[in-house]
Chains A and B, each alone.
Chain A
Amino acid sequence: MQYLVSVVNDNTDFATGSEQAAIDLFNDQLIADGNWVFAAGLAAPESSTVVDNRREGPVFTDGPFVETKEFIVGFWIMEAPDLDAALKLAAEGSKACNRKVEVRPVLQP
């Protein structure tokens, strides 16, 4: 089972040197234990473009589709047998990146 672990924050400040080191260490552990699927950091919400191609021709709109005080600044996709295991990994991830995270199950095919 896969879980999306989103990193939530109210600013887009880069991880500090020690935070990045902790994240690298945590990622190595995820890979070693077979929990790693994917991870990435995201650019600021203002850099996003909304695309709607449900009618004739795509419409492009600047900015995030909804303005919020807190937003997703990065994410992991983790493989875990159940929510208890995912929550444990997410807790370690939160500590490593020094930010809040949200765990959401990925629908199984």
Chain B
Amino acid sequence: MTDAREAIAQAHRKEWARVVASLARRFGDLDIAEEAAAEAFATAVERWPAGGVPPNPGAWLTTTANHKALDRLRREAKREGKHKEAQMLYDDVPAPPGTIDDDRLRLIFTCCHPALGMEARVALTLRMLGGLTVAEIARAFLAQESAIGRRITRAKAKIAAARIPYRVPTAEDLPVRVDGVLTVLFLVFNEGYLATGPGTDPLRPRLTDESIRLTRLLHALMPSDGEVAGLLALMLLIEARRTARVSADGELIPLDQQDRQVWNTTLIAEGHKLVRARLASGEAPGRYQILAAINAVHTSARDERDTDWSQVVALYDQLVLRDSSPIVALNRAVAIAELDGPDVALATVRRLEGSLAGYRAFHATRAELLRRLGRKEESRDAYGEAIRLPGNDAETAHLTRRREQLK
């Protein structure tokens, strides 16, 4: 019984995306693919405990799902008195040599299509590729189940009506489209790693695990893409610190105060290996590769005091050239504080006020720098500003304690 349950859970992790993707190709309809895949897994839940786990669970699920889809088409054909035609387009041309022809890759690009809204892309990707239920996605994003359901339904309808194709983009469009996919995956990861709102667990492993799993898949399918490798390394190096990031009583612990003994050395080793491979490639790094390299520097220091800050600042200088966002500038200022002192960093941070005044991390950073400069009163006020702005509970707990310490 438990064996069957474990087998189903494992098959769900390993096979869900594959089953949905192959059905989407065969039937040209994401709705049918999703529903038939869900029915196949429900059938497995019914049958495997008593009848035993089939020798090839993936093949069993695909076959069962195919039957379910055909059943639905026959029912609909009877009702409508005509055959429902396949709506989705895909290339019949075999993939050029050296590229991997995988339906899951087509599915990723379709779900993350730029013609869909960002929220729709996120929900669709988690449902179609991650296999999360609508309820699970709603819980993760603190949204109403009905709203998430509508979002997914609407996106599927647009894909069919506007003919968003089911294929891997051409080489010419690929870099931009891959970047769009990575944005979705990183957004899911970030939401799991640091919730943006209160009233939820600060860490949501379901989202971080899922985004890492999908990025791993993308990396396996596109091993030579530097930014895919970069994002995977970045996620692994952040994930490695997860258990050290929140205290037993639910308070966020910043990097410099974390117990580095509990960092996950396996994930760190894997992340470092990816970063080294990218450095060895000699190609100019993109944004994710630079962020991964910054995290590699942090995770290389056994003690916070051993951090190579000049290296971190040099990497941020590279990043600023590619990404002129004020948030990057804020993070660079944090590194500058370690290298050139908090007064220099504070001057930089002040210049960002115009664009970041409504951003919690801006005030938290300012508060921290003022505290280090011994300007208690101003620091307390800045912590107060940070606490007033929206953020998750673990962060609020941390900021509140910091402010109390200044009394």
Contacts and interface: CB of A to CB of B under 8 A. Distances in A.
- Secondary structure at the A interface, as helix, strand, loop or mixed, is mixed
B89 A105 contact: no
Contact of B165 (A84, A103, A104, A105): A84
Given A81-B89, A82-B89, A84-B169, A1 B115 contact: no
A82 B115 contact: no
A22 interface: no
Contact of A83 (B165, B169, B173): B165
Interface residues of B, number: 10
B163 A87 contact: no
23 contacts: A1-B163, A81-B89, A81-B163, A82-B89, A82-B163, A82-B164, A82-B165, A83-B113, A83-B115, A83-B162, A83-B163, A83-B164, A83-B165, A84-B164, A84-B165, A84-B169, A84-B173, A87-B115, A103-B162, A104-B162, A105-B161, A105-B162, A105-B163
Contacts of B173: 84
Interface in B369-396: none
The 8 closest A-B pairs by CB, nearest first: A82-B165, A82-B163, A105-B162, A83-B162, A83-B164, A82-B89, A83-B163, A1-B163
Given A1-B163, A82-B164, A84-B173, 12 more contacts: A81-B89, A82-B89, A82-B163, A83-B113, A83-B115, A83-B162, A83-B163, A83-B165, A84-B164, A103-B162, A104-B162, A105-B163
Nearest to A88: B173
Contacts of A81: 89, 163
A104 B158 CA distance: 10
Interface string A66-99: 0000000000000001111001000000000000
A1 B173 CA distance: 22
Interface in B83-127: 89, 113, 115
Interface in B173-189: 173
A83 B165 CA distance: 7
Nearest to B169: A84
Nearest to A1: B163
B87 to A, nearest CB: 10
A83 B162 CA distance: 6
A81 B166 CA distance: 12
A84 B88 CA distance: 13
Interface in B213-243: none
